[in-house]
Structure 1
């Protein structure tokens, strides 16, 4: 017999931890290969963890609602053959240990368990933000939040970088932590200090008010949005686009498109294809920031904000969107939207996005000012398509006509995207959409 350690799998480059939402198996249950054992939730999607071996579940190391770091062992499965397994310690060897040694081992296990089950939070009481990589290193090296806050950060706005914490670990115990020199001390303005120490205003509740606890995903989305506003310097540009030719073309071909492809043709894939084409012309929109470095993304992976049954939003990703024709884009968009409504998205479906598009027009909004989906640097909001009176220029003069128009809002991070790039991007998108040929085939 052998013992197999079931570990929390890696679920994407930006996912460092997950919450145990429910155990599907109990201790003593027989486990089949690829059988789901536990349900987990990240700040992006809910998922199941399957077993990599056959055997019997003999130990559960984390309980419901515990937060677990990626790569940590969450359960032990006893197997017949020990491939990738950890052999159990022989009973004879355990019996030779003295009670004192057993006590010491138990204390060590308790201490390690306490450290692992209490992960470093993203932000400290003082408001400092720590990246998933820094938090994982701190947790692995048993560095407490108080100790982590004592490390002087060299990153942007004094953040602790990977190099900072590794340097601290290397020098730990050799020499006292260096104190920043007066020249290196960052002076904060009164407004920054006030923001750091500000406390939420107290809320009065009377007997007629209803208290509704935020859902787990609601809490995660709230933190993600606040973090984005604090991280990025949000700036917006707006433009109005005449989509009359697209509306006429879609009305003309949508039935034939469905009969041939078996897919409903909405405006979303048409607009997504135009966005991907525009990004290809302006690759510096398709970037991310890592400290003082800009990461230029090779692939164009479009995030598509979609509504969940509980009213929250999720952002499935269209991978390599610039390589899809309209038929391919339609199939991917419809598939992701359908599985989002059914809560059937997989972790990989919401990973790797480089630019996000949200359709605020689907809720009747004319325009919106969306918050950037970190670590991206821009997001596009599509407003409702409406019939509008417009001035139409012709060789015989100008006249007033009815046109189908929409507003597009572009939010971008002013740290790396200036107004010229942000404005040119949506102006090029406008040119692509307004040049649509209403007589083309699909």
Structure 2
């Protein structure tokens, strides 16, 4: 019998790792060719890894919640045939031990903590997953201390739950932890350990008061990712907003006139979203300094205009698939791209590359009935646009014969931008130009 290595496949140009979310097969199960073996998650996209061969699942090398690099072996499948060099188990050659920089100086006043390089296996052959090793390194748990933890996993392996329980309930506090939290620059890894332990001592977390009628709900993986991303953006960018009201009466009338013919000719439903996204792309071309990203103190001016489009997932969460080179699409091409991404988002069929590489984001808060919103910037971008609901309102109409009151279709647009690099003039002129493009819509144009 031969042993086949099931590796984590490449899932996109910018995807380097994934998290194991659940195993669909257990050791000993029979696997068919192209049958899904494991579910993985990359950022916000969930997907399955199929088997390239038929056989029996012999060994699982990573557990649920472990983070795995692309190209690493995640399982061993026994297949018919003889072993070959390519099919032997070689996890040692794929995965290197976690290393930290050599500590040249110790903490002032003699803190008795050493650097924490954590090996993948002990002398006795006990395996430690990347997630467990990462937690150990972050918490300052030396390899010798890690080996004292009793594991509840397969063959006594230490799981994420084991090490977190150990940290919470049973770990002794390092000696002299209160001595000092000042370290030399070369001892940066130790500094993080000290600061973390000191914070545990001085911070008093007030528990949330609950009663028997309250329900405790664990945040979903998506919710945790979004929460972390949003808080990081608020702490990073200096958010400021500009608002403008746009008369889209001509667009509403034009769409009403052409939508049936559009669907008959192109086979696509024409909504307001591609019309508005097409105008946004044209506006970005006029103001390329909105299409930038921040990298520390450096500004990266993006060549391509890749529009992120907030879309709904089946569980109610939002995801931001990206329309690549949006300024190069005509209205028909934009409609196809918008509909395709929206449909695949609703069916959980987006690929990792579909949500990568965005340079500017648009969110349609009007689809939920909101008149306007103040969206949070999608880092490392520097601006995001919120489209409000289109509604009929009484408005003053200026004519050569004088002003009069009439019913018009209008919407508010909110522009959030990073005031570190986008000033009020640029942020305001951007949506003013967008307004001019949309209000100049030709009622008689074709599509």
**What is the rounded CA distance, in whole Å, between the counterparts of 1:151 and 1:17 in structure 2?**
32
Provide the TM-score with structure 1 as the length reference: 0.74
**What is the rounded CA distance, in whole Å, between the counterparts of 2:231 and 2:331 in structure 1?**
36
- Offset from partner CA, 1:39-86 (integer Å, 9 cap, x none): 112331111223455655322111223333444432234564778825
Pairing partner for 2:130 from 101, 113, 116: 116
Q: CA deviation at 1:119?
A: 6.1
Query: Cα gap change, 1:262/1:228 in structure 2, threshold over 3 Å: closer, same or farther?
Result: same
- Offset from partner CA, 1:246-275 (integer Å, 9 cap, x none): 000001111111111121110000001011
Q: CA deviation at 1:105?
A: 10
Give 2:67's aligned residue.
Answer: 67
Pairing partner for 1:332 from 337, 347, 355: 337
Pairing partner for 1:231 from 228, 236, 260: 236
Query: Cα gap change, 1:357/1:177 in structure 2, threshold over 3 Å: closer, same or farther?
Result: closer
**What is the rounded CA distance, in whole Å, between the counterparts of 2:22 and 2:182 in structure 1?**
36
Q: Does 2:383 match 1:378?
A: yes
Give 1:22's aligned residue.
Answer: 22
Q: Does 2:327 match 1:322?
A: yes
Q: CA deviation at 1:15?
A: 4.7
Given that residues 69 and 119 in structure 1 are in contact (C-alpha distance below 8 angstroms), is that contact kept between their aligned partners in structure 2?
no
Q: CA deviation at 1:429?
A: 0.7
Given that residues 68 and 119 in structure 1 are in contact (C-alpha distance below 8 angstroms), is that contact kept between their aligned partners in structure 2?
no
Query: Cα gap change, 1:308/1:422 in structure 2, threshold over 3 Å: closer, same or farther?
Result: same
Aligned ranges 1:287-298 → 2 under 5 Å: 287-298=292-303
**What is the rounded CA distance, in whole Å, between the counterparts of 1:364 and 1:119 in structure 2?**
47
Structure 2 SS opposite 1:76: strand
Q: CA deviation at 1:13?
A: 6.1
Query: Cα gap change, 1:151/1:116 in structure 2, threshold over 3 Å: closer, same or farther?
Result: farther
Query: Cα gap change, 1:351/1:379 in structure 2, threshold over 3 Å: closer, same or farther?
Result: same
- Offset from partner CA, 1:105-155 (integer Å, 9 cap, x none): 9625857x426233647xx79xxxxxxxxxxxxxxxxxxxx9xx99888xx
Mean CA deviation greater in 429-438 or 392-401: 392-401
Given that residues 273 and 322 in structure 1 are in contact (C-alpha distance below 8 angstroms), is that contact kept between their aligned partners in structure 2?
yes
Structure 2 SS opposite 1:298: coil
Give 1:394's aligned residue.
Answer: 399
Q: CA deviation at 1:232?
A: 1.3
Query: Cα gap change, 1:84/1:258 in structure 2, threshold over 3 Å: closer, same or farther?
Result: farther
- Offset from partner CA, 1:9-37 (integer Å, 9 cap, x none): 44456655432122233334455665432
Aligned ranges 1:234-253 → 2 under 5 Å: 234-253=239-258
**What is the rounded CA distance, in whole Å, between the counterparts of 2:124 and 2:382 in structure 1?**
43
Give 1:85's aligned residue.
Answer: 86
Give 2:265's aligned residue.
Answer: 260
Given that residues 37 and 50 in structure 1 are in contact (C-alpha distance below 8 angstroms), is that contact kept between their aligned partners in structure 2?
yes
Give 1:422's aligned residue.
Answer: 427
Give 1:132's aligned residue.
Answer: none
Aligned ranges 1:206-225 → 2 under 5 Å: 206-225=211-230
Query: Cα gap change, 1:342/1:87 in structure 2, threshold over 3 Å: closer, same or farther?
Result: closer
**What is the rounded CA distance, in whole Å, between the counterparts of 2:120 and 2:231 in structure 1?**
43
Given that residues 15 and 352 in structure 2 are in contact (C-alpha distance below 8 angstroms), is that contact kept between their aligned partners in structure 1?
no
Q: CA deviation at 1:430?
A: 0.7
Aligned ranges 1:291-370 → 2 under 5 Å: 291-370=296-375
**What is the rounded CA distance, in whole Å, between the counterparts of 2:221 and 2:120 in structure 1?**
36
Given that residues 389 and 401 in structure 1 are in contact (C-alpha distance below 8 angstroms), is that contact kept between their aligned partners in structure 2?
yes
**What is the rounded CA distance, in whole Å, between the counterparts of 1:18 and 1:314 in structure 2?**
17
Q: CA deviation at 1:5?
A: 3.7
Structure 1 SS opposite 2:380: coil
Provide the TM-score with structure 2 as the length reference: 0.74
Q: CA deviation at 1:403?
A: 0.9
Given that residues 2 and 85 in structure 1 are in contact (C-alpha distance below 8 angstroms), is that contact kept between their aligned partners in structure 2?
no
**What is the rounded CA distance, in whole Å, between the counterparts of 1:277 and 1:15 in structure 2?**
30
Given that residues 378 and 412 in structure 1 are in contact (C-alpha distance below 8 angstroms), is that contact kept between their aligned partners in structure 2?
yes
Given that residues 4 and 84 in structure 1 are in contact (C-alpha distance below 8 angstroms), is that contact kept between their aligned partners in structure 2?
no
**What is the rounded CA distance, in whole Å, between the counterparts of 2:423 and 2:124 in structure 1?**
53
Matched pairs, number: 369
Given that residues 308 and 340 in structure 1 are in contact (C-alpha distance below 8 angstroms), is that contact kept between their aligned partners in structure 2?
yes
**What is the rounded CA distance, in whole Å, between the counterparts of 1:298 and 1:403 in structure 2?**
38
Q: CA deviation at 1:243?
A: 0.5
Q: CA deviation at 1:364?
A: 0.4
Unaligned runs of at least 5 residues, structure 2 = 91-118, 140-173, 175-180, 192-198
